[in-house]
């Protein structure tokens, strides 16, 4: 009971945090999510640990997550992650000897699915901001086949999920989460050999992910196609429209980036939250993977900014009265919301490790 309350509290807090952090969150295909039964969400992975946050806060099912084992190194962080239904998955880069630990994790996944609950997996195996659907690993198919073998009466629906950002790692950014059509797995594995069933399932998930997210084929023309889309300042969250441009090879004429007339407001917000901002600048220098920029920036904004605003509101309230403190806190939140929702979200091809 306590764990459920804790999970609900954290989930609602993250959902509120994402609202203040994101220019616009669009959700499509939510009706495709089965209300009951075992589900495995197969999600593309362009942007670090914020990807599962956008997915889990946009559907009503209570999710369990498989994330890379490196996130569990710190004992304190490990306890927090486990309390939020996160489980480690080990890869070859973690050491061949560590791969044996995956069997225990798989057994936990089998139990989760047998209890008619949901599991979220990123079958590409790693994050990458490149706008292409990469080759899927066999890990998620092993979990499906293993659960079906252990529980022959079980039906597992695989729901592909595509996440597309206007620009990963930029702030504020638009994002769209698209849920695909459920894939019934029991029939696939009953009608085919295990090897063939795995290939069929991987192909079905891949095909949907290529329509649920912006997909530029990773070939010699990738950069040229991306540059034309960026030059036209397309809205990448209009996934279907952008994919049609890519397929046809027909792109709009180049457009100038929209000027950010709210830049002075951004500087005011940074000054008002000077300590969290300085901590972010220090943290940014230590980030060596672009895909983790949003993860750390969102974490700082979620925890330290409200705390810092609260302390300043308390100080002002103690000096000038409670009404002044509440007024300051309200205005501070409204200024952040004004900037996040109305600052332009321009398309970009690349981003350096700086803001």
216-252 confidence digits (pLDDT tens): 999 999 999 999 999 999 999 999 999 999 999 999 9
Reported as a single tens digit per residue, the pLDDT across 283-333 is 999 998 888 899 999 999 999 999 999 999 999 999 999 999 999 999 999
Residue 236, phi then psi, degrees to nearest 5 = -65, -20
Supply 117's token pair.
Answer: 């609950």
Give 186 or 86, the one with higher predicted confidence.
Answer: 186
CA distance 193 to 108: 25
Q: Closest Cα partner for 59 from 15, 19, 24, 20?
A: 15
The rounded distance, in Å, linking the Cα atoms of 177 and 149 is 32
Is 262:171 a contact under the CB 8 Å cutoff?
no
Instruction: Give me the DSSP letters along 14-70.
Output: HHHHHHHH-SEEEEE-GGGS-SSSEEEEEE--SSTTHHHHHHHTTSSSPEEEEEEGG
| pLDDT on residue 265 | 95
Is there a contact between 66 and 49 (Cβ–Cβ < 8 Å)?
A: no
d(CA 314, CA 90): 45
Give the list of residues 6+ apart from residue 209 with CB closer than 8 angstroms, or none.
Answer: 42, 44, 133, 160, 162, 180, 215
Tell me the CA distances in angstroms from 26 to 23, 211, 245, one per residue in order. 10, 16, 21
pLDDT at 329: 97
Q: How is domain 2-212 classified at the CATH fold level?
A: Glycerol-3-phosphate (1)-acyltransferase (3.40.1130)
Delimit the domains of the chain by residue range. Answer: 2-212, 263-342
With contact defined as beta carbons under 8 Å apart, do 43 and 126 qualify? no
Provide the pLDDT for residue 349.
67
pTM of the model: 0.91
The pLDDT tens digits for 121-134 are 999 988 899 999 99
How many other CB atoms sit within 10 Å of the CB of residue 323?
Answer: 10
Query: Lowest mean pLDDT: which of 184-188, 235-239, 349-353?
Result: 349-353
- Residue 230 C-beta-side C-alpha neighbours within 13 Å: 15
Residue 123 to residue 194: CA distance in whole angstroms: 18
């Amino acid at each position: 009971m306590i764990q459920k309350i804790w999970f609900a509290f954290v989930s609602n807090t993250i959902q509120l945090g994402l609202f203040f952090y994101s220019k616009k969150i669009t959700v499509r295909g939510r009706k495709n999510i089965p209300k009951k039964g075992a589900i495995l969400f197969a999600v593309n992975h362009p942007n670090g640990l914020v990807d599962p946050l956008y997915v889990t806060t946009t559907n009503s099912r209570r999710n369990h997550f498989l994330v890379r084992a490196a996130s569990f190194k710190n004992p304190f962080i490990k306890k927090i992650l486990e309390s939020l239904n996160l489980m480690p998955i080990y890869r070859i880069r973690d050491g061949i000897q560590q791969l044996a630990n995956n069997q225990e994790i798989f057994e936990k996944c089998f139990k989760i699915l047998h209890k008619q609950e949901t599991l979220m997996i990123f079958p590409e195996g790693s994050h990458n901001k490149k706008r292409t659907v990469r080759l899927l690993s066999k890990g998620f198919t092993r979990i499906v086949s293993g659960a079906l073998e252990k529980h022959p009466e079980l039906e597992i629906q695989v729901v592909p999920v595509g996440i597309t950002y206007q620009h990963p790692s930029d702030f504020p950014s638009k994002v769209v989460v698209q849920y695909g059509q459920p894939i019934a797995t029991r029939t696939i594995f009953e009608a085919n050999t295990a090897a063939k069933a795995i290939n069929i399932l991987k192909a079905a998930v891949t095909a949907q992910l290529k329509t649920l997210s912006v997909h530029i084929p990773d070939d010699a023309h990738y950069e040229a196609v991306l540059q034309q889309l960026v030059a036209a300042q397309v809205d990448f969250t209009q996934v279907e429209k952008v994919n049609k441009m890519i397929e046809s090879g027909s792109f709009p004429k180049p457009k100038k980036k929209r000027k950010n007339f709210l830049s002075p407001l951004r500087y005011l917000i940074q000054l008002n939250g000077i300590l969290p901002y300085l901590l972010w600048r220090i943290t940014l220098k230590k980030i060596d993977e672009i895909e983790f920029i949003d993860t750390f920036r969102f974490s700082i904004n979620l925890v330290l900014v409200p705390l810092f605003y609260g302390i300043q509101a308390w100080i002002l309230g103690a000096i000038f009265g409670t009404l002044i403190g509440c007024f300051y806190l309200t205005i501070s939140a409204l200024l952040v919301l004004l900037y996040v929702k109305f600052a332009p979200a321009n398309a970009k091809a690349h981003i350096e490790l700086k803001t």
